[in-house]
Amino acid sequence: MTTQLDAVEGLVRIRVPIERSRGDPGPEADWLWAEHLGSDRYRVESCPFFAYGISRDDVVRAVEPRGGDAPRLEDVMEKGGHRTLRMALDPAAELSHRPVQALLEELLELGCTHEALRPKIVAIDLPPEVDVAVVTAILQARLREGLILWEWADPRPS
């Protein structure tokens, strides 16, 4: 059962289990905000920081386990056309540094949005209308400068 703490403006948090080898460091799950559509279906409304293959506007199936825990992602039912990229900042860089802010502003001007997991991870949403080649060229340039590392978290829009 969703609690008031889990709901924000009609959204609920869904749990996305992370597959990893035994003993590997890292989180056991990612958490995404989603709109409940009924019948165990949810539309994703945030970007994953750790999970792969999921993007904003995807419709997923998530089942509420017994005991009132958050719904657990079971399957991506329908891709929503968005893509997800992630970037990690250079150890010497901070989110507040001017070059990082300039990069985020440049991506925003292109139509991308982002979410930050402090201190060093940024998930970037690429809507369908954004030119992927332009975004990746910008990220590659910042990679060569040593400002960031980046990866595709979900390159397929459909």
pLDDT tens for 5-41 read 445 678 999 999 998 877 888 888 999 999 999 999 9
The predicted pLDDT at position 117 comes to: 92
Res 155 pLDDT > 60: yes
pLDDT tier, 105 (very low <50, low <70, confident <90, very high otherwise): very high
Helical ranges in the chain per DSSP H: 98-110, 132-145
Res 3 pLDDT > 90: no
The predicted pLDDT at position 8 comes to: 61
3-class secondary structure, 104: helix
Whether the ω angle into residue 119 lies within 30 degrees of 0, i.e. cis, is: yes
pLDDT tier, 66 (very low <50, low <70, confident <90, very high otherwise): confident
The predicted pLDDT at position 7 comes to: 52
Taking the model in full, what pTM does it have? 0.88
More confident residue, 85 or 156: 85
- How big is the CA angle at 146 (ends 143 and 148), to the nearest 5 degrees? 55
